[in-house]
Amino acid sequence: MDDWEKAIGKEVWKPVPSIPDVEASSHGRLRKLPHVATMPHGGSRVFRSQPRFGCFVKSSKNARHIYFNIVYRGMSPIKVHRAVCEAFHGQPEPGQVVIHVNENALDNRPQNLRWGTQKENLASAGFKKQLAARNRVRARKGDWAKERLKHYPGLADFAEFYREVRAKTANDNMK
């Protein structure tokens, strides 16, 4: 046993029930089992994939939440945390999501993952802290947001409001 295995423990591989030919490890990695494919000009070849943690993915361009994702040829994208949780904790019940115990979405070790409801996930301390910070920012921008959402009967009314805001901003910047 080398120093790496002593430090983090031996890596254990288990099959992912919902994804054929894919295994998840106790270190939060995925690998596709060796498979034989035919070559274009005859013959066959054995493909062996390397274990991977995945690549960084955001659910949308402006999202703060980052997670690991893997794509194998001929398969839809796999969320690593979901595959690892399924391999080590069994199939989820309908409506369950993966919860990261330490709230680090990049830590996909089985001891950091569990199945839970979306309500439990949103009740975590980190999410509440993030909401509080977002609400503080909204409170600072509150007056402008309320006015911006107001309906103006015509373009002239909106232009008048815009001139007032620019004048107020210019006065605030001179102070």
CATH code, domain carrying 85 = 3.90.75.20
pLDDT of residue 86: 94
Q: Say if 149 falls within a structural domain.
A: yes
pLDDT of residue 92: 93
- Compute the distance between CA of residue 115 and CA of residue 111 in angstroms, rounded to an integer: 12
Residue 26, token pair as written in the block: 């106790």
pLDDT of residue 141: 55
pLDDT tens digits, one per residue of 24-39? 999 988 888 888 888 8
Q: Say if 135 falls within a structural domain.
A: no
Q: Are residues 30 and 110 in the same domain?
A: yes
DSSP string, 19-72: STTEEEETTS-EEEPPEEEE-TTS-EEEE-PPPB--EEEESSTT---EEEEE--
Q: Are residues 89 and 163 in the same domain?
A: no
Q: Domain range spanning residue 22?
A: 3-120
Residues of the chain with pLDDT under 50: 1, 4, 145
pLDDT of residue 154: 62
Q: Are residues 114 and 149 in the same domain?
A: no
Q: Are residues 34 and 93 in the same domain?
A: yes
Q: Are residues 76 and 151 in the same domain?
A: no
Report the relative pairing of strands 55-58 and 44-47 from DSSP bridges.
unpaired
Q: Are residues 169 and 101 in the same domain?
A: no
Q: Say if 44 falls within a structural domain.
A: yes
